[in-house]
Chains A and B, each alone.
Chain A
Amino acid sequence: DVKVTQSSRYLVKRTGEKVFLECVQDMDHENMFWYRQDPGLGLRLIYFSYDVKMKEKGDIPEGYSVSREKKERFSLILESASTNQTSMYLCASSLHIGSGNQPQHFGDGTRLSIL
């Protein structure tokens, strides 16, 4: 089974702090994703990566950056946390094959509160 592990289930930080969310997958997947999920807004893509050191902006990248130094690890960074970044953050990974991408598999999420 695919295993996507997010470092924390719950996290509380203060406004202005630099926040790191870590995600590790154990299936040698090329693609990794960061989403946030908010009531009434559904799932929104922040950033994704299709290879080591590669990154692409999603729909809402402002205020975030990412790092992918190793294939199995994808980090989301909140440069200076703000209260509107309080949310559930979800990491996902998928395999890329010649005909396209395979299903995305998700971690259990990090519920982040910015005070």
Chain B
Amino acid sequence: DAKTTQPPSMDCAEGRAANLPCNHSTISGNEYVYWYRQIHSQGPQYIIHGLKNNETNEMASLIITEDRKSSTLILPHATLRDTAVYYCIVLKAAGNKLTFGGGTRVLVKP
């Protein structure tokens, strides 16, 4: 599975959009981009995933560049409860193993 690169940390103001970048320049054609987050002392929570089209659900939007070498997770109106470590993962459709890198530690401030 392709490796991903994320900034180690970022702050966001409550009520503003949070844009979390992820680089995955070695992604191959059959690999999906997944996003998870982990709030302190809880299990990871699935957020969203996509192959090449932009995706949106009730939690977030995922924007994937046309060359698929990078993506951005958008939390449209960040709340204090969105404070967590966010992980970007690239995984084949049949992949069975999730591997979390360092992730981005997001702190939402009042």
Contacts and interface: CB of A to CB of B under 8 A. Distances in A.
Interface of A: 4, 31, 33, 35, 37, 42-43, 45, 48, 50, 56, 58-59, 90, 92, 99-101, 103-109
Chain B residues touching A, range: 10 to 19
Interface of B: 34, 41-46, 49, 92-102
A100 to B, nearest CB: 3
Given A92-B98, A108-B42, 7 more contacts: A33-B96, A35-B98, A45-B97, A92-B43, A99-B93, A105-B46, A109-B42
A59 B43 CA distance: 20
Nearest to A109: B43
Contacts of A107: 43
Contacts of A56: 96
Given A35-B98, A42-B100, A100 B92 contact: yes
Contacts of B92: 100
A104 B32 CA distance: 13
A4 B42 CA distance: 12
Given A35-B98, A42-B99, A43-B100, A106 B45 contact: yes
B44 A106 contact: yes
A101 B93 contact: yes
Nearest to A9: B41
A109 B43 CA distance: 6
18 contacts: A4-B43, A33-B98, A43-B44, A43-B100, A45-B96, A48-B97, A50-B96, A92-B43, A92-B98, A99-B93, A100-B94, A101-B94, A103-B46, A103-B49, A104-B46, A106-B43, A107-B43, A109-B42
Contacts of A4: 43
Given A43-B100, A103-B34, A103-B49, A90 B43 contact: yes
A37 B96 CA distance: 16
Q: Which of B44, B92, B94 has the most CB of A within 10 A?
A: B44
Given A42-B101, A103-B34, A103-B49, A48 B44 contact: no
